[in-house]
Amino acid sequence: MLIKRPADIKPSEITPESIYRNRRQFLGASSTLMLGAALGGTSPLMAQDARGDQLKARAPAGLTRSEPAAWWGDKFDNIQPAPDAEPFFTDETLTPYDDVTAYNNFYEFGMDKGDPKRNSGEFNVDPWSVEIAGEVDKPGTYNLEDIVSPHQLEERIYRLRCVEAWSMVIPWIGIPLADILKRFEPNSNARFVEFETLVDEDTMPGVRSRFAIIDWPYREGLRMDEAMNPLAFMAVGLYGDYLPSQNGAPMRLVVPWKYGFKSIKSIVKINFLREQPINSWNELQPQEYGFYANVNPNVHHPRWRQDTERRLPQTLFSQNRIRTQMFNGYGEQVAHLYEGMDLSRYY
């Protein structure tokens, strides 16, 4: 297996310059999660009405973070805070940490929403490597350290909309996807990029379940212009701390204008392709899950209306239902990518 060191690959030249200069320093919220350790300890106690602007100004009191893998250094102590305005920030009410980390679709750990948290305690992400393949000039297998270390971690507070008509607002920590992909120097034949999730029968009970409905590994993809859009994000943390296993540790995609199943978790392969890849849900049920999966209140899923959504958390007496925005509210940044396309056909 080829393991390349940082000296073999140049840092991205498109990382935004200090557009966040002179902003208040983000005080990283943290949990007792350690990269590669089993889930345990106490979750951050976020106020139910905490908003994005409040998160940037303070962190929950009384929280400590376990020592991470040594190579992380002080990266999570020096997070570049989100800008003060859309699209990389929203002051909408944040979904509490406990809901973000306990209500998930991650079928490798089980099909119920609580299964990922219950069943991911043995999942180990240290060490971690990612295979880079296809139409690139720098293919190979790279340590997570080699991928992440050259970059400044940034905060992005995005809306997340599931095709099942529920939604969250999550403060992600990570790196612009374009900054990562350009370092591998995709060539002119790279028109699409495909991602794959880890398959590990020892620590992922859903993979070995006889009730599994997906042909593993889980695969997702984007057109190259989508992947290079400034909104596309590779997350390595949330709420100022490392990603919990159930949320896609150690690195996952976040594509906020698309339904959540496009934001693939626990990535172990990035493949640059000439032709459009066949993605897992599209392969399983093409009449329900298209390749593009853009949030579109005008095109309903056969089982879920898409013009409204349940913003979590909800209570017994209120579903906290709100209207869904086209492209999840990010149309100004991404609508041009789909000019001339029939979005009821290319759903």
Q: Which helix (H) or strand (E) holds 131?
A: strand 129-134
Q: Whats the size of the chain, residue-wise?
A: 347
Class of domain 20-338: alpha beta
Residue 40 CB: number of other CB atoms within 10 A? 11
The pLDDT assigned to 315 comes to: 81
Burial of 268 per CB tally in 10 Å (0-12, 13-18, 19+): middle
Give the range among 58-67, 89-98, 198-207 with minimum mean pLDDT.
Answer: 58-67
The pLDDT assigned to 138 comes to: 98
Residue 79 CB: number of other CB atoms within 10 A? 21
* Per-residue model confidence as pLDDT tens digits over 156-179: 999 999 999 999 999 999 999 999
Long-range (24+ apart) CB contacts under 8 A made by 69-72 are 69/35, 69/36, 69/126, 69/145, 71/145, 71/149, 72/35
* Per-residue model confidence as pLDDT tens digits over 132-141: 999 999 999 9
pTM of the model as a whole: 0.83
Coil, strand or helix: which one is 75? helix
